[in-house]
């Protein structure tokens, strides 16, 4: 039997973003698991940044995600109103800094006009169709949101329904959902 570090055995999260009808929404579940045990049901993995002008959701190791959120906040202060530039600068640091390179997390960030997915491999990706998802249940939420994207539902309803569907499929995702949104 292989021995895992405690950090390696922590799982969980699903984050989805939907941009539709002049609104962007990021929704995330609240479950934190260690192995087969649910440790917490109501973690807050989605939050506003930059005085409420940016919203972000994270998946991965919690301490790593908080470190990245703090670094992103600093970049947003350095480049106010320039989400893409702040994220590219963060991604450069993430790839080149010896400490940051070891962080295991992903983020979805959005402002009124741009949605981006950031990864530790240096990716700063703008999703097609205004829909993206990350985390253990990300593919389920992504598929559900894309399927619902052409419906008459608004962005928040689509995001909540996608999270509900992911929660029904992924054992590391629950239906205790936190939603943050911005309007154009």
Domains: count for the chain: 1
> For residues 85 and 67, what is the distance between their CA atoms, to the nearest angstrom?
19
Task: Examine residue 180 and state whether it is found in any structural domain, yes or no.
Answer: no
Task: Examine residue 165 and state whether it is found in any structural domain, yes or no.
Answer: yes
Q: What pLDDT score was predicted for residue 16?
A: 98
Task: Examine residue 163 and state whether it is found in any structural domain, yes or no.
Answer: yes
Mean pLDDT confidence for 74-100: 87
Q: Is the pLDDT of residue 150 over 80?
A: yes
pTM of the model: 0.90
Average pLDDT, the chain: 88
Q: What pLDDT score was predicted for residue 34?
A: 82
CA dihedral 83, 86, 91, 94 (to 10 degrees): -130
Find the catalytic residue in 13, 14, 115, 173.
13
**For the segment 40-75, what is each residue's pLDDT rounded down to a tens digit?**
999 899 999 999 999 999 988 777 778 888 989 999
CATH value at residue 84: 3.60.20.10
Q: What pLDDT score was predicted for residue 64?
A: 78
Catalytic site includes residue 175: no
Mean pLDDT confidence for 161-173: 95
Task: Examine residue 74 and state whether it is found in any structural domain, yes or no.
Answer: yes
Task: Examine residue 39 and state whether it is found in any structural domain, yes or no.
Answer: yes
**By mean pLDDT, which of 76-90, 94-108, 133-147 is the weakest?**
94-108
User: Is pLDDT larger for residue 62 or for residue 175?
Assistant: 175
Q: Is the pLDDT of residue 121 over 90?
A: no
Task: Examine residue 160 and state whether it is found in any structural domain, yes or no.
Answer: yes
Q: What pLDDT score was predicted for residue 29?
A: 96
C-beta atoms surrounding 2 within 10 Å: 4
Answer for the pair 25, 179: CB distance below 8 angstroms, yes or no. Answer: yes
> For residues 111 and 81, what is the distance between their CA atoms, to the nearest angstrom?
9
Q: What pLDDT score was predicted for residue 111?
A: 97
List strand residue ranges (DSSP E) for the chain, in order.
Answer: 10-11, 14-20, 23-28, 32-34, 37-40, 46-49, 54-60, 105-110, 115-118, 124-125, 131-135, 178-183
Task: Examine residue 82 and state whether it is found in any structural domain, yes or no.
Answer: yes
**For the segment 90-105, what is each residue's pLDDT rounded down to a tens digit?**
988 877 766 665 667 7
Q: What pLDDT score was predicted for residue 100?
A: 62
Say what percent of the chain tops pLDDT 70.
90
| Owning domain of residue 131 | 6-171
Task: Examine residue 58 and state whether it is found in any structural domain, yes or no.
Answer: yes
Answer for the pair 33, 10: CB distance below 8 angstroms, yes or no. Answer: yes
């Amino acid at each position: 039997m292989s021995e895992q570090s405690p950090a390696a055995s922590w799982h969980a999260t699903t984050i989805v973003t939907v941009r539709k009808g002049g609104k962007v929404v990021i929704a995330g579940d609240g479950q934190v698991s260690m192995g087969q045990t649910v440790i917490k049901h109501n973690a807050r993995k989605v939050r506003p940044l930059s005085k409420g002008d940016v919203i972000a959701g994270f998946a991965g190791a919690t301490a790593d995600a908080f470190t990245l959120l703090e670094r992103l906040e600093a970049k947003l202060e350095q480049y106010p109103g320039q989400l893409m530039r702040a994220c590219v600068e963060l991604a450069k640091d993430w790839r080149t800094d010896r400490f940051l390179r070891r962080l295991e997390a992903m983020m979805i960030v959005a402002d009124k006009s741009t949605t981006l997915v950031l990864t530790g491999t240096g990716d700063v990706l703008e999703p097609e169709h205004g829909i993206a998802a990350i985390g253990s249940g990300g593919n389920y939420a992504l598929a559900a949101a894309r399927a619902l994207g052409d419906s008459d539902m608004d962005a928040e309803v689509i995001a909540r329904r996608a999270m509900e569907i992911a929660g029904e499929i992924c054992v590391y995702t629950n239906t205790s959902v936190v939603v943050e949104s911005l309007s154009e």
